[in-house]
Structure 1
């Protein structure tokens, strides 16, 4: 029997459906129905993620998981699956945990800071917070409701800590030290950078310096970064090949790098001179509000430079004329008075 084009099309569709079904069956086998290790809610079969066993270097504290899962299965409860399963939305960083529990959107750094501040509060009974996977024995009868292991009081306490940590109007210190470039000790935000302190530890950038580095492509080369730092100081775009001449705070700070109250205060006089020089050199790259001011300063500086060169040339010419007269007179040549 000869297959028609329609038959061949139907066969291809069936093959596709079989392949899709096989893929779904395999995924469901790899991702069994279980409790989310982050929120404690049910992760449906075939959905979410599962951590590979290689990420668990020690099985000691999970040795009872199989027994507990067996008991839970008999009672019709979803298993823990060794606390390796999680919803896709829960598999992100700690900032998702903060959002789920408090409704507040924060950066990963703020989330880690807030959770770290919470842990010492009641450490003995708080070890299961915010993720349930640290106390699966206690949670033997846990109902599969997301975050049901976190009480309303703990949610409120966490929200309070997050608001204090995340207050956008309150500059705060960074545990890694002051800003690597400008040296300020407190900022509204802190960001990782390629800079390092003298001891090799990472040095951060403040919320004012970091955008300049990112705007220029987040270079890793030191000369490029120093050109970026000069731009952060002066607002004048700079080219690395011209030499920036700037020594950032990270370059001069020793073992103690707590910084200064304000930006660029670690060497005010030389930095002020460097700022003026950079602005006068590149006025066209400055913000509109100061561009004309420094264009005028550049014009004035160029005019003064021309006048100075002219005076030097006139003085040199006069000196040469005097020397020529003296030489001519000494040789007996007639010299005009």
Structure 2
């Protein structure tokens, strides 16, 4: 009888914690205070021209209100903020705050369904990257931003010629190649910056939510983070499409589709390089008895020198599940 009661209580507690957002029920005064603070942050961002900072700070109070009262408070609150933005702000500020409104919902849902912190950081950075890319694309299509490939090439050629006149030893072909490499690496650099921003945003927001007795996710060990086989197949598909687009566009390296697929390939390459690093961490942990193996800093440094090798290792691990296969093999012995 006692065992049955114990099992019943365990099931009830587990069910209660499954959809619980707060350890302690928030007060109505705090909910109102955070709602007002969210609207004030929007006004400060508009009038002080610090929309990046205020949008960053606004995710916490908006997530708190959403977790406390749900969509019935969240929707009117963001609608009020959207009205203020539409009357007083520029399209850039509206877009930036709109992105962070969605981020607050992503943070809320991740906590609600007990998602991992890694998933949250990746989701937030991908959301910002795609939203910014879409905004720029629409601005170009609508004529708000003008990009002329001929003007870009003329500017590059004039810059290279001026450098060659100033320094006769400069190799024009080498300088032109550096511009081509910059074209390929620039979006990846932007993604890294946005990833760092997202990591800081998630860490800051979750740390404040934890002080308000919110059940927050934590980071797993890096060696346990892995890409799914689907990611590998997507990488193969994007690489083939990039190759076909390059064949189609020929020498026009500044065509829209060429740049787009090069960007996608660059971001995916970075993901597989990191997956290869985490795979190396996993096998180092399996072979080392130390809690902080000295081999990890060395491997991390080698990643910057031999990134193609780590990319290949990450790709193979994604497709063939090297780490999972190793664990199964060890258990079978």
Alignment TM class, shorter chain as reference:
under 0.3
Query: TM-score scaled by structure 2?
Result: 0.23
Larger Cα Rg: Structure 1 or Structure 2? Answer: 1
Task: Report the TM-score when normalising by structure 1.
Answer: 0.22
